[in-house]
Amino acid sequence: MRAKQDIEIGDDITPPLLPLSFSLHDSFLSSHCSSCFSPLSFPPLPHHHGPLYCSAACSSSHSPISSSSAESFLPLTCPRSSDLRTALRLLLSLPSTCPHLHRFTNGLLTNYLKLTSSPDFAAQIRQGAIAMAAARKLRKGLSLDQGDDVLLEEAVLCLVVTNAVEVQDESGRSLGIAVYDPSFSWINHSCSPNACYRFIVSPPNATSFGEDSGSALRIVASISEENFGVCSCSEYDKGTEGYKYGPKIMVRSIKRIKKGEEVCVSYTDLLQPKAMRQSYLWFNHQFTCSCSRCTVSPSTLVDHALEEILASNPSFSSAGLDLNLYRDEANKKLSHYVDETITEFLSVGDPESCCKKLERVLKGGFHVEQLESKDGKSRLNCKFHPFNHIALNSYMTLASAYRIRSSDFLSFHSKTDESQLKAFEMSRISAGYSLLLAGATHHLFCSESSLIVSAVNFWKQAGEYLLTIAGSSVWNLLGLPISELSTVVKYKCSECSLMDIFGAKSILNQAERTNFGNISSDFLACVRSASPKFWRFLIHGCDYLETFKDPFDFRWLAHPHCVEEDVDFIKEDSNCEHHAEWYINARTHIYKVGMHSLVFGVILAHICYGQNSHLTTHVLNHVENFVY
């Protein structure tokens, strides 16, 4: 799909698009509406497997299709049942004849030959198609014979596997899957995309965040359906009423796009290195990405950083051995250890153990087996670079784990001054990891602007965590009266334009969007100048974070052993008056960076999702509620 006209950054590329077919995942069938995907107003029904609806409108739109599709006759233990339900519902819309069944159905690529010959998918497709065919027969009171043809079911299931996208709510949970028409499904993947997409999940007659029904379709296929041998969707549009409701999708530009330029989105996590992206795309979509980011040689700075391992041994350079071989060995072992630790945390839920294990490996690294050199045996110590994708994932996990530890500590201990200070310490460290994650990701974002979606989430989280610290009542215990916050919240920044943008409620108009690079630079300079006033306080007590002099300036990595103590950091023998003055200053700058982080997150969210998107509105409300 290519742009019909020049498109600026932060513009809608498509109107809200309804799905051709969709289905909730099994785990949400009892808690969400099967038509619009909105949460149900009544408690989840245990052991319920059929569709439930939030309103009569959703029921009248969806239930006839659901009941006609034969999905109720699928075995309850059927794997990937959301794929099968989506395919059965899509079967109802097919024209009576489809001459290109092996290649295209409803204008969408099926990948039939590739998937049915793939070791990863062939058995899944065959078994799923048999279950679909048997369900359709059962609905008519018949049984499936061993020799019955299931070609149609195989082709439509292949279409779903090829084109379906995971529908996520505002928190990032995957609720189900949906298949959209060629206006979206024909948009190709790139690891350096110029567009992103968002979902609009809302009940009938509700005000939908970010929905602009007046948006025009601003992309066109590079080649017509007829010239490409495609079965057109026109029969579908005329032959069935289709869905009135469902999870809508919109595409929006995150870079300037010239007329005729291809519009691409990402099918995978862009904060993964090339090998992991390629593996995911092949396993899930059966293609090898050949975008500019994947084919450039040598690798981009971002991809190099995402795989970087810091190896140190003074005597190793003279050993005459291939350092990369030992780096690869260390990387595999470090990765395995971190993956196991995070998996254990998510399944068992022991945040303290998770923090200890992750921080041990982040700070201490991994020692490769002793190596022979001309000076005898030596050991190579390998650590993750702060931009390594595993380090970034660890920071995200640690921010969450410390936050949980803080909440749990207050729940299980009496609210004495000591327990409140201990919980506050954990909250500080959580905010420290969140800020480090935002700073490291922003550094990568400056080199690869398609990482904007990740930057939105991390700046938003860092801002919320810092404002929670700034608003904590524990400052009373540190000698700072809570009333002092009134002087903090009146703060207006004289160093950058972010707060003016927020104050004017314009968020980011077209003129500011064209000057976004300068806004981003001014923002980073502003928070970088403020961070020394509180960073050492924020991370005090965390051995790993204390190795970082600054969460935004990573130039010190060239000399990692030269981290100096901040001369402004409060010492225990300081007098009470200096205590109060220092804490007021630290708290003011924590508030400043927290507010800047949230407002910058609003700007990025506006580019990705629009002025009235759920995320943009959520962040704006958070800022306004804190200030006022």
Residue type, 542: C
What digits encode the pLDDT tens for the residues 107-125? 788 899 999 999 989 999 9
Per-residue model confidence (pLDDT) at position 236: 36
**Residue 124 CB: number of other CB atoms within 10 A?**
16
Per-residue model confidence (pLDDT) at position 77: 84
Residues 6+ positions from 314 with CB-CB distance below 8 Å: none
Provide mean pLDDT across the span 591-620: 83
Least reliable range by pLDDT among 182-196, 437-451, 605-619: 605-619
Q: What is the pTM of this model?
A: 0.88
Per-residue model confidence (pLDDT) at position 235: 37
**Per-residue confidence at 574, pLDDT binned at 50, 70, 90?**
very low
- Report d(CA 87, CA 161) in Å as an integer: 9
Is 564 a residue whose pLDDT tops 90?
Answer: no
Residues 6+ positions from 532 with CB-CB distance below 8 Å: 550, 566, 568
Q: DSSP E strands: which ranges in 416-455?
A: none
**Per-residue confidence at 36, pLDDT binned at 50, 70, 90?**
very high
What digits encode the pLDDT tens for the residues 458-514? 999 999 999 999 989 888 887 666 555 544 445 567 777 777 766 555 556 655 666
- Report d(CA 245, CA 498) in Å as an integer: 38
Q: Which two tokens stand for residue 244?
A: 């009135």
- Report d(CA 449, CA 104) in Å as an integer: 34
Q: What's the CA angle centered on 508, arms 502 and 511, to 5 degrees?
A: 130
Least reliable range by pLDDT among 29-33, 591-595, 622-626: 622-626
Q: In this predicted model, which residue has the larger pLDDT, 110 or 212?
A: 110
**Per-residue confidence at 206, pLDDT binned at 50, 70, 90?**
low
- Contact (CB, 8 A) for 176 and 226: no
Q: DSSP E strands: which ranges in 7-90?
A: 21-24
Per-residue model confidence (pLDDT) at position 168: 93
Is 95 a residue whose pLDDT tops 50?
Answer: yes
Nearest CA-CA partner of 615 in 255, 266, 201, 267: 201
- Contact (CB, 8 A) for 166 and 180: no
- Report d(CA 406, CA 424) in Å as an integer: 7
- Report d(CA 436, CA 408) in Å as an integer: 23
**Per-residue confidence at 202, pLDDT binned at 50, 70, 90?**
confident
Output the average pLDDT for the chain: 83
Per-residue model confidence (pLDDT) at position 623: 63
Q: What DSSP state is assigned to residue 39?
A: B
Buried-exposed string 434-473: b where 16+ CB fall within 10 A, e elsewhere: bbbbbbbbbbbbbebbbbbbbbbbbbbbbbbbbbbbbbbe
Least reliable range by pLDDT among 36-45, 545-554, 606-615: 606-615
Q: Which two tokens stand for residue 475?
A: 């400052």
- Report d(CA 36, CA 181) in Å as an integer: 18
Long-range contacts: 132-140, Cβ < 8 Å, 24+?
A: 132/70, 132/74, 132/84, 132/87, 132/88, 132/91, 132/156, 132/157, 134/73, 135/70, 135/71, 135/72, 135/73, 135/74, 135/88, 136/70, 136/73, 136/88, 136/91, 138/70, 138/73, 139/70, 139/73
DSSP secondary structure letters along 251-297:
EEESS-B-TTPBPEE-SS-TTS-HHHHHHHHHHHH-----SHHHH-S
Residue type, 189: H
CA of residue 53 relative to chain centroid, distance: 28
